[in-house]
């Protein structure tokens, strides 16, 4: 299309442009079906019909939203091109023409996004609130930068013949930030699933399915992940291979999202909390409750959980559980904040806050009496006293 600008006649050149547009739009139609299915699988989970999964609840809202935004981007690309022109008349003409694409697209975009949000299940949005409010934070970015893009695009019409390249690039950057924030939200609220309510992010099936090879939560909890996974060296756990087996469990269950000490490295996480092997093992039992449920549950037997804990402990070795030298706030942050918030909206926190200090100390002695899902951390008397004092303040 570009190289034929001065070589092809107008009709042929436009034909190439339409072919490019149709091909690009067709790719969006297909890709949109895939990524919306991953977020809102809808009734496909029940009937597994292809078109039910493809034309899922958010398919058309997402398609219209993306198409509107693509029209806006087309106008913005033209705006950047216009800002580079030396001819003032030509520059002004292209700037006005580009605004016809950007402004209307940003006017209708909020309606399509509202339609899109309305078709996302409430339980999916639940992961966007609380301990990892990624969607809330990035939603603010969408509002700020979409308004900025719209307003700046209108400002280009004030003096279209004198628009500077810097302004056009700011509009472009603002638009890309809007789209980036939208995509980040879409990815974050899907967690812990790769297919909503069907398959976890580590390819573990939520419930048994025909042909799943046993790689489902129920089977692995009974038989073990090492005996179920295809590509592992250690099928049995012994004292001699416990750490190596734990490494393999980490690779199978965790490495889809985490590395040991690089991207989303668990080393930094362990360093912040200074957990020993026993504490790590206890915490592994509540993975799906941590950070508002953005991680899959640990799947495997108790020996496998111990092996994974032993491996993780080698990433940041702690000889023994350290004595209490931190404040109650830090104790809460290191031991409780993965699942609880220090605000009135958290049931456990607000309940303890209303009790006297002695009662809190007594209740912290048996955490599982508060909730069976809570790890039995076996806090020392000193630790309970420090934490209770902070909670009571």
Cα torsion 324, 349, 361, 370: sign: negative
Using CA atoms, how far apart are residues 211 and 222, in angstroms rounded to an integer? 18
For residues 54 and 165, membership in a common domain is answered with yes
For residues 308 and 352, membership in a common domain is answered with no
Cα torsion 119, 124, 130, 136: sign: negative
User: Does residue 69 carry a pLDDT above 90?
Assistant: yes
What band does 341 get if pLDDT is binned at 50, 70 and 90?
Answer: confident
For residues 258 and 378, membership in a common domain is answered with no
Does a structural domain hold residue 209?
Answer: no
pLDDT of residue 321: 58
- Structure token digits, residue 288: 């799906």
For residues 147 and 62, membership in a common domain is answered with yes
Please name the residues in contact with 377: beta carbons below 8 A apart, sequence gap of 6 or more: 279, 282, 335, 367
- Closest to 106 in 3D by CA, of 143, 159, 161: 143
pLDDT of residue 76: 97
pTM: 0.82
CB 91 within 8 A of CB 83: yes
pLDDT of residue 130: 53
User: Does residue 353 carry a pLDDT above 60?
Assistant: yes
Give the model confidence (pLDDT) of 121-159 as tens digits: 887 776 666 555 667 778 889 999 999 999 999 999 999
What band does 191 get if pLDDT is binned at 50, 70 and 90?
Answer: confident
Cα torsion 32, 175, 193, 315: sign: positive
Using CA atoms, how far apart are residues 25 and 36, in angstroms rounded to an integer? 16
- Structure token digits, residue 249: 């469990």
pLDDT of residue 51: 97
CA 209 to chain centre: 26
Does a structural domain hold residue 217?
Answer: no
Task: Count CB-CB contacts under 10 A for residue 46.
Answer: 9
Does a structural domain hold residue 180?
Answer: yes
Q: Is the backbone of residue 135 left (phi > 0), alpha (psi -120 to 50) or beta?
A: alpha
For residues 228 and 185, membership in a common domain is answered with no
For residues 273 and 298, membership in a common domain is answered with yes
Task: Name the least confident of 7-16, 28-37, 76-85.
Answer: 7-16
For residues 309 and 349, membership in a common domain is answered with no
Percent of the chain with pLDDT over 90: 59
User: Does residue 389 carry a pLDDT above 70?
Assistant: yes
- Structure token digits, residue 129: 């609130």
For residues 308 and 262, membership in a common domain is answered with yes
For residues 188 and 140, membership in a common domain is answered with yes
- Closest to 367 in 3D by CA, of 345, 346, 348: 348
For residues 109 and 14, membership in a common domain is answered with yes
Collapsed DSSP state (helix, strand, coil) of residue 136: helix
Does a structural domain hold residue 299?
Answer: yes
Start-to-end CA span in the chain (Å): 69
- For residue 284, give the CATH number of its domain: 1.10.760.10
Largest CA distance in the chain: 88
Residue 205, strand partner residues: 199, 216
Domain encompassing residue 98? 10-197
Phi, psi dihedral angles at 195 (to 5 degrees): -130, 120
Collapsed DSSP state (helix, strand, coil) of residue 335: helix
pLDDT of residue 393: 78
Does a structural domain hold residue 218?
Answer: no
Using CA atoms, how far apart are residues 177 and 388, in angstroms rounded to an integer? 44
pLDDT of residue 103: 95
End position of a domain, from candidates 182, 197, 212: 197
Does a structural domain hold residue 32?
Answer: yes
For residues 262 and 354, membership in a common domain is answered with no
The residue to which tokens 């301990």 are assigned: 131
């Amino acid at each position: 299309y570009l190289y034929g600008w001065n070589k092809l006649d107008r009709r042929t050149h436009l034909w190439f442009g339409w072919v490019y547009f149709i091909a690009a739009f067709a790719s969006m139609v297909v890709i949109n079906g895939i990524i919306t299915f991953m977020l809102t699988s809808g009734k496909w989970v029940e009937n597994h019909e292809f078109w039910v999964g493809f034309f899922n609840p958010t398919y058309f809202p997402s398609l219209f939203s993306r198409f509107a935004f693509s029209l806006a981007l087309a106008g913005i690309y033209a705006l950047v091109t216009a800002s580079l022109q030396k001819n003032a008349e030509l520059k002004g003409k292209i700037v006005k023409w580009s605004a016809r694409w950007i402004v209307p697209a940003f006017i209708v975009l909020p309606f399509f996004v509202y339609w899109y949000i309305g078709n996302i299940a409430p339980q999916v949005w639940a992961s966007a609130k609380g301990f990892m409010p990624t969607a809330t934070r990035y939603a603010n970015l969408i509002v700020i930068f979409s308004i900025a893009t719209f307003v700046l695009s209108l400002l280009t019409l004030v003096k279209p013949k004198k628009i500077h390249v810097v302004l056009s690039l700011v509009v472009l950057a603002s638009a890309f930030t809007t789209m980036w924030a939208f995509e980040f939200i879409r990815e974050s609220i899907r967690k812990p699933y790769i297919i909503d309510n069907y398959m976890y992010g580590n390819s573990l099936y939520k419930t048994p399915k025909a042909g799943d090879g046993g790689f489902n939560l129920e089977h692995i909890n009974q038989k073990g992940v090492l005996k179920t996974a295809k590509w592992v060296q250690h099928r049995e756990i012994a004292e001699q291979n416990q750490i190596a087996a734990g490494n393999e469990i980490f690779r199978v269950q965790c490495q889809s999202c985490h590395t040991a000490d690089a991207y989303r490295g668990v080393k930094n996480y362990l360093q912040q909390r200074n957990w020993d092997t026993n504490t790590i093992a206890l915490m592994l039992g509540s993975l799906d409750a941590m950070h508002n449920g953005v991680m899959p549950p640990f799947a495997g037997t108790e020996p496998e959980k111990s092996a994974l804990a032993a491996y993780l402990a080698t990433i940041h070795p702690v000889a023994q559980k350290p004595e209490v030298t931190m404040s109650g706030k830090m104790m809460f942050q290191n031991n409780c904040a993965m699942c609880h918030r220090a605000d009135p909206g958290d049931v456990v926190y607000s309940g303890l806050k209303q009790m006297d200090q002695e009662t809190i100390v007594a209740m912290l002695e048996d955490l599982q009496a508060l909730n069976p899902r809570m790890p039995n951390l076996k806090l020392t008397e000193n630790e309970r006293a420090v934490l209770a004092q902070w909670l009571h303040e």
